[in-house]
């Protein structure tokens, strides 16, 4: 299976309120969410899906109501306008890396396989993990490991990388892991996962892209339209949670003398929805997923 969609029924239940409406799947992947959305639409309904990964194009759906756009979802607004779409009824974004990208060893996403340092979701872009590891300044590397990997000893790890690459380039995922073989074995899996997450986020500008999507999604949604977002780590979820709450990513909104502020969304659920034990048993990658749904206010 290319990708086992997470929180499939719940996410589409939240999303589709008008069978005749226009919907967007920002992260097409294997098409699991898209197929479920289409099953809820009438003949008048329309679904646009985005995916920058060329591999995902092989999963396209033969349906006159469906259009697959081979672009990063950061271009949501402009791409939809090319199809004459200015407003939509719902937008779904399932963030993170697809199962296919993890399972394709040569992509370099997984800590379990030895592969070239790549980690690009869009294989046509120039920046890859090898460039980040071998060319970034030590301070920049440390900041990435701290901010995106939430690693407390980021300065020490960055120093190890820089000292080693002076002797020999770091070219594979195994080369990178060997640098930190001194870490106690019971900690290694967690630390490696944090390092790989940090580098992957930098390579693909994941957090900036999510911010751009959320802002555009608010503009594109009709009043009453729904934004459904599935996040897989605290950095993603924090952005979604704050934006749905007050339309901001940092700071606090201006309040009136009574302490009220202008909201942009109503929350469908006050707390994030998480997979149940049965789904986690069937799909271990669902374990960290959190779903939040906002309804655009008039």
* 52 three-state secondary structure: coil
Tell me if 96 is assigned to a ligand binding site.
no
Residues 6+ apart with CB under 8 A from 57: 51, 68, 70
CB-facing half-sphere around the CA of 9: CA atoms within 13 A: 3
- Whether the predicted pLDDT of 194 surpasses 70: yes
Say whether pLDDT at 227 is over 60: yes
Q: Is the pLDDT of residue 105 over 80?
A: no
Residue 135 has pLDDT above 90, yes or no: yes
Least confident residue range of 96-100, 174-178, 255-259: 96-100
Spell 5-14 as b/e; 16+ CB within 10 A means b. bbbbebbbeb
83-107 burial, b at 16+ Cβ within 10 Å, e below that, comes to eebeebbbbbbbbbbbbbbbebeeb
The annotation status of 101 as a binding-site residue, yes or no, is yes
Segment 125-139 mean pLDDT: 97
CA distances from 67 to 24, 271, 290 (A): 10, 33, 27
Tell me what the mean pLDDT of segment 230-250 comes to. 94
Q: Please, are residues 198 and 111 in contact by the beta-carbon 8 Å criterion?
A: no
Stretch 24-34: mean pLDDT, rounded?
A: 94
Q: 111-125, 246-260, 268-282: which range is least confident on average?
A: 246-260
Q: How confident is the model at residue 1 (pLDDT cuts 50, 70, 90)?
A: low
Q: How many CB atoms lie within 10 A of CB 113?
A: 16
Residue 19 per-residue DSSP state: T
Determine which of 13-22, 149-158, 181-190, 250-259 has the lowest per-residue pLDDT on average. Answer: 250-259
Q: Is residue 185 annotated as involved in ligand binding?
A: no
Query: How high does pLDDT run on average in the chain?
Result: 93
What per-residue confidence (pLDDT) applies to 203? 96
Which H/E stretch holds residue 203? helix 185-204
With beta carbons less than 8 A apart as the criterion, state whether 38 and 47 touch.
Answer: yes
What is the average per-residue pLDDT within 87-99? 89
Does residue 102 have a known ligand-binding role? Answer: no
Task: Give the list of residues 6+ apart from residue 4 with CB closer than 8 angstroms, or none.
Answer: 30, 32, 99, 282, 283, 285, 286
pLDDT of residue 3: 64
| Rounded CA separation 143/151 (Å) | 10
- Contact assessment for residue 91 and residue 217, using Cβ atoms and an 8 Å cutoff: yes
Cα separation, 157 vs 142, whole angstroms: 7
Q: Please state, in angstroms and rounded to a whole number, the distance separating the CA atoms of residues 40 and 96.
A: 25
Cβ–Cβ < 8 Å for 17, 89: yes
**How confident is residue 2, by pLDDT bands cut at 50, 70 and 90?**
low
pLDDT at residue 197 in the model: 94
What average pLDDT does this structure show over 199-225?
Answer: 97
**Overall size of the chain counted in residues:** 298
In the predicted model, is pLDDT for residue 232 greater than 60? yes
| pLDDT at position 99 | 63
108 is annotated as contributing to ligand binding: no
- Is it the case that residue 248 has pLDDT exceeding 70? yes
Residue 97 has pLDDT above 80, yes or no: no
Task: Give me 140's structure tokens.
Answer: 């920049």
Strand ranges (E), 100-255: 221-231
Phi, psi of 140 (to 5 degrees): -65, -45
Predicted confidence (pLDDT) at residue 100 exceeds the cutoff of 70: no
Residue 3 is labelled as binding a ligand: no
Model confidence at 236, pLDDT cuts 50, 70, 90, reads very high
Report, in angstroms and rounded to the nearest whole number, the Rg of the chain calculated over CA atoms: 20
């Amino acid at each position: 299976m290319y990708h086992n969609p997470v929180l499939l029924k719940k996410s589409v239940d939240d999303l589709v309120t008008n069978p005749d409406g226009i919907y967007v799947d920002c992260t097409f992947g294997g098409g699991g969410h898209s197929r479920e959305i289409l099953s809820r639409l009438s003949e008048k309904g329309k679904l646009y899906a985005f995916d920058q990964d060329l591999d995902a194009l092989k999963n396209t759906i033969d349906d006159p109501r469906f259009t697959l756009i081979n672009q990063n979802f950061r271009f949501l607004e402009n791409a939809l306008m090319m199809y004459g779409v200015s407003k939509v009824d719902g937008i779904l974004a399932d963030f993170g890396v697809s199962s296919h990208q993890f399972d394709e060893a040569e992509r370099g996403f997984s800590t379990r396989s030895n592969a070239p340092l790549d980690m690009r979701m869009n294989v046509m872009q120039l920046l890859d993990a090898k460039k980040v590891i071998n060319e970034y300044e030590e301070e920049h590397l440390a900041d990435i490991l701290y901010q995106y990997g939430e690693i407390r000893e980021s300065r020490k790890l960055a120093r190890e990388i820089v000292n080693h690459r002076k002797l020999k380039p770091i070219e594979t995922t195994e080369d990178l892991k060997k640098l930190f073989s001194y870490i106690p074995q019971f900690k290694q899996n967690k630390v490696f996962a944090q390092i790989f997450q940090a580098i992957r986020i930098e390579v693909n500008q994941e957090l900036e892209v999510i911010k751009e999507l959320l802002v555009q999604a608010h503009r594109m949604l009709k009043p009453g339209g729904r934004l459904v977002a599935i996040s897989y780590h605290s950095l993603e979820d924090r952005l979604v949670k704050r934006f749905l709450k007050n339309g901001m990513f940092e700071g606090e909104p201006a309040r009136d003398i009574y302490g009220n502020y202008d909201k942009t969304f109503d929350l469908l659920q006050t707390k994030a929805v998480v997979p149940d034990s049965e789904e986690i048993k069937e799909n271990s990658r669902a374990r960290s997923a959190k779903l939040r749904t906002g309804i655009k206010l008039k």
